[in-house]
Amino acid sequence: MKATTKIFGCIADPINHVKAPSLFTSEFVRRNIDAIMIPINTSKENLKDVIAGLRKIRNFCGLTVTIPHKIDIIKYCDKVELEANQTGAVNWVKFNNNMLIGNNFDGLGFIAGLKKSNIVLSNKSICIFGAGGSGMAISFALLKYNIKELKIVNRDKVKAEKLVKRLQNFFPAARIKIEELNDPDISDSDIIINATSIGLKGNEGIPFKLIKTKKNCIIADIIMDPEETLLIKEAKRLKKQVHLGKYMLENQIDLAGKYFQLW
């Protein structure tokens, strides 16, 4: 590192599961870019103070944002781009002349990963567990691909209802349903996505019963650590096609590099 090194951060709580710092720093080295990404462990209570402090670091250029800050961080942004405005969640923040600009690449990165795995979305029934920052971003991205139906399952039903209302404001013709958490109807879903924190180290578990899914249902997870969650392991045991959480981040690398004008 030099005095001119551009510093990026990955802000989260907990922080031990995040892969972004090592992935991005490795990419900076590979591309011979004078930059580094560091992990920043910050609680929700301290988020405001941490952002205020980062604003004062002249060579601090931006953040990738993950659980649990994707929604709360919006209030500290001076401007939000289209994707972030639609979803109400931010997972990238650009520090530009002391102005914080929020964006969201979760949905775009997730869809790019599906496409690279040759997973077709058109006319598919999709169920997503989780209505938080990632769930919102992925839901918005999915509705741009002529899917047959979107089912949403969330622990907080009011939060799920707010997401549906937000989605329908932008996609009034879309077919969207809320399923009950305790007994969701996932029997006709072609793709099921876990966009909750269930599966992280320290929060092991499976968010739904795989025996209730149809035979050719594709099981996707957004958890990156562990790479294979209990959900993914059980789905593989049942001979189902799976889609790993790491692909969402890997496909955001190119998007973020262009956004920060690094390549």
246-259 vs 20-30: helix crossing angle, rounded to 10? 50
Residue in 2, 48, 56, 70 annotated catalytic: 70
Structure token digits, residue 174: 């879309």
Residue at token pair 């910050």: 42
CA distances from 158 to 27, 113, 165, 183 (A): 40, 30, 11, 17
Residue 70 known to be catalytic: yes
Instruction: Kindly list the catalytic residues.
Output: 70
